[in-house]
Structure 1
Amino acid sequence: MIVRPRPHWMHLLFVRRGSLVSRILPQQLFILALSCGVVLMHGQLFHFKVTLNANPFSLMGVALAIFLGFRINASYDRYWEARKLWGDVLVETRNLARQALTLTARNVESRPFVLGLIGFAAAMRNQLRHQPRDADLLGLLPAVVIERARVARSAPALVLLWLGQWLRERREAGQLDFMLAQQMEQSLNGLSSSLGGCERIANTPLPFTYTVILHRSAYVYCALLPFGLVDSIGLMTPLVVSFVSYTFFALEALSDEIEEPFGTMANDLALDALVAGVNASLREMLGEEPPPAPVPDENFLLV
């Protein structure tokens, strides 16, 4: 995810990181070369004059822009919902850590439970990013739980099960009031709901046919556009067509990128930073020194 202060408007014109230029550069070069060829041939294709003007492209452009806008909105809804679900994870882990530290009996060692909450956030990130199930879990969870998580289909669910068993043991030992245990169980249910919501987003992409239609429409539009403009604007055709194609190709690439918000591309959610935030917050509640906050690199990229 790109994390940076908003630069000066002049600098913003030349920003490369996160602008998707490198991703759509081959398509842009193809359209530019095609436009130059159309200008050199004066709109002729195999000795046949392609009689197009700007009128149909005005209608097609409006329809395509609406189509792209709908795709962007659908992708951003998934991105924003994923971010809200991770915000809920932070809230619920803080609530559970506070309750475990203040509502249990004084002789209860609550640190393993609080570290287990950090382990849940790490396991949830690992699953959503298809990383090794046990990555960054050492020191946060018991060895037997880590071993089970390593081969589990849903490691975060196993961590939640262990956290629930910890609550049951405290309740059966008389170290946690029954009503308070019920309240903490509701918070665990909230973590489970957030996990399920993120799994729904990760496992249910937008319909592939929708992507194909949009992709084909954008490419056909940009490939035919030089023939419709060459007679009216002449040598300016490559410049105008390149600008229009950049808009369409970049918006399509952006919607494709944020459709899956849990990846490691520049505009995806910064899951490592979110897990680090949970880790720092809960360790401070334990009275420990939190690890240093993640620092974006020289290109302001934090993933």
Structure 2
Amino acid sequence: MIVYESNRFWVKDMVNFTRSYTMKKIVFGVGLIGSYTALVCFVYQFYGLESNLHSGIYSLLGVILSILLVFRTNTAYDRWWEGRKQWGALVNNCRNYAIMVESLLSADDKDTRKFFAKHIANFCIALRDHLRDGVRTDALLMLSSEELNELEPKKHKPNHISLWLNKKMVLLQKSGVLSEADAINMKIHHNALLDILGACERIKKTPIPFSYAVHIKLFITIYGVMLPYGMIADFGYHTIGLVMVIFFALLGLELMAEEVEEPFGIDCNDLPTGDIAHNIKNNVFEILLDERPLKEDVKRELYEKVH
């Protein structure tokens, strides 16, 4: 995720636009439409052709396209913001879960504290990777050989980690460490982890309908291809620059929406789920064990940072 100061002089941000992969795609598309428009202008001027297309047609099509793009970008941003809210809820819930465990366990019960600390953290790390390309067990913390052998073949690793947490809670209740009321209160936080998992999976596995996404891309392409013919009679070779500016705006909105609608990846503007999981890990270990885990391998290079 690109991190920047929103209240600084905005021209400074513009010099970093080439660092965005989406911006590079926009520039490539604008370059193509500019070359095409230059060819159209050359042919019209060289052969003395005239265009009888009325500019009002383009105004009407532009209004329709603008409405579609506004809806498209709003829908994409809603998905991005919903993902951020879910990960914010995950942070709060994991802290509450860890604080409750800390208050219920004795200070001498280091093993149980360590169990909850590592697996609350592992749930978040596994969720991060589950929403990407799959969970790597070597990225998880302090797994015993038995846990590793049990977890490795599982297809849904965050679910299985939550199962371990639930089994441990039930075992503590049966052994008398937790009362029934304590177990019920802990279960609330445990269930919240699964609710967040389900909400993130819903965002991940329910993309914008294919026909809708393709229709907008096709509309933008057709509009861009037709645009030079409606402007060349009035603007001549100036049509090249005007078409490029218009296409830059339209294509930019579409590609930005395309990038943020999948918020859990590693693109420049995706959510920093790795950093969030790393912070949760440090928080729960500090609460339960008053220490930080030894494994500090967060790959912060995944997220562009603009200073």
What TM-score results when the alignment is normalised by the length of structure 1? 0.91
Contact 2:125 2:277 in 1 (8 A): yes
RMSD: 2.4
* 1:147, distance to aligned residue in structure 2 (A): 2.8
RCO (CA 8 Å, sep 6+): is it higher in 1 or 2? 2
Deviations 1:71-92 (A, max 9, x none): 1111111111111111111111
Deviations 1:230-287 (A, max 9, x none): 1112222111111111111111111111111111111111111111111121222221
Report sequence identity in percent: 29
5+ residue gaps, structure 2, are none
SS in 1 for 2:152: helix
Contact 2:79 2:261 in 1 (8 A): yes
Change (3 A) 1:153 1:296: closer
Contact 2:80 2:263 in 1 (8 A): yes
CA distance in 1, matches of 2:79, 2:156: 21
Match of 1:25 in 2: 27
What TM-score results when the alignment is normalised by the length of structure 2? 0.90
Match of 1:196 in 2: 198
CA distance in 1, matches of 2:292, 2:179: 30
Match of 2:189 in 1: 187
Change (3 A) 1:82 1:62: same
Change (3 A) 1:198 1:295: closer
Change (3 A) 1:247 1:59: same
From 119, 125, 129, the equivalent of 1:126 is 129
Match of 2:253 in 1: 251
5+ residue gaps, structure 1, are none
* 1:294, distance to aligned residue in structure 2 (A): 7.2
Match of 2:5 in 1: 5
SS in 1 for 2:155: coil
Match of 1:300 in 2: 305
Deviations 1:164-198 (A, max 9, x none): 01111111111112101111111110000000011
Match of 1:270 in 2: 272
Answer yes or no: is 1:102 the counterpart of 2:103: yes
**Aligned positions, number:** 300
Match of 1:64 in 2: 65
Q: Which has the higher helix share?
A: 2
Q: Which residues in structure 2 correspond to 1:34-73 (within 5 Å)?
A: 34-42=36-44, 49-73=50-74
CA distance in 1, matches of 2:10, 2:196: 38
